[in-house]
Structure 1
């Protein structure tokens, strides 16, 4: 199994990982809840990103993001059970994700990640994924 790939053996289609996962290494749900909470603290005051969230309260978005990250990194498959396949590009298509929005997203995520106590290997692994995912969400170069 390649931990870097994000691929894990699971006990069913959306089941828990059967081998130690990144999710378990970083502390499970509490780690991802804290990371996402700190991320959305930045988003809440961002004039470009905040309008992209349909709910006035960022709580539902934070819960969806937490479930997604948990599942991706080897935790419970709750995201897929509740929402189906992640289809990240499709879900972000209605929003103008230009380089400015991407860079702001990355800034808030880096600030959040910098507050977390992770060993360098896990920090770099997580940042590498988040950076690549943010770049993949670009859907326009218009301002």
Structure 2
């Protein structure tokens, strides 16, 4: 059986994720629609999101181990933000544009998996942003995304143990 790389391995390494999100958030801060949402983000925000997505894609557990993060903590960042569908779409658009500009892998299989995760995760963020309390507890596992998971957002196969 072939050794199938994780999405993280396919992209490259942590520096690729960090550069992607650094450049992406530069665009966000210059975007009329999204700037207000992120104007008070911490200086570490870009790094934390890069580490979170890298870990979800099967990479090092830097978000949970080094950054002290969890899925519940990431969800908590969205609570009460009242994100809109227009903002969600712009967020995804800018991230994909940045990935293209940086030459992040663009083969159909990888981009399908990446877009699948961005659509899933950003839609969950919009839902959670309408809430006043976090629906997750600290014991919830981190999401884990691969080459073709299907099913609802809380299907066990979408999470690592």
TM-score by length of 2: 0.65
Q: In the alignment, which of 105, 130, 137 is matched to residue 118 of structure 2?
A: 130
Aligned-residue offset at 1:59:
4.2
| Secondary structure of 1:92's aligned partner | coil
Aligned partners of 2:43 and 2:18: how far apart in 1? Answer: 11
Aligned partners of 2:37 and 2:68: how far apart in 1? Answer: 19
Aligned to 2:36: 51
Q: For 1:53-92, what aligned pairs fall within 5 Å after superposition?
A: 53=38, 54-55=40-41, 59-81=43-65, 82-87=67-72, 88-92=74-78
Q: In the alignment, which of 7, 15, 21 is matched to residue 36 of structure 1?
A: 21
Aligned partners of 2:27 and 2:81: how far apart in 1? Answer: 18
Q: In structure 1, list runs of 5 or more residues that go unmatched.
A: 1-18
Alignment RMSD: 2.2
Aligned to 2:81: 95
Aligned partners of 2:109 and 2:57: how far apart in 1? Answer: 14
In the comparison of the two structures, how many residue pairs are matched?
Answer: 121
Q: 1:101 to 1:117 in 2, by over 3 A?
A: closer
Aligned-residue offset at 1:64:
0.8
Q: 1:24 to 1:137 in 2, by over 3 A?
A: same
Q: In the alignment, is residue 26 of structure 1 matched against residue 26 of structure 2? A: no
Instruction: Provide, for residues 36-72 of structure 1, a one-character-per-residue CA deviation record: whole Å limited to 9, x for no partner.
Output: 12311220112332222324xx742111111101111
Aligned partners of 1:64 and 1:94: how far apart in 2? Answer: 20
Aligned to 2:91: 105
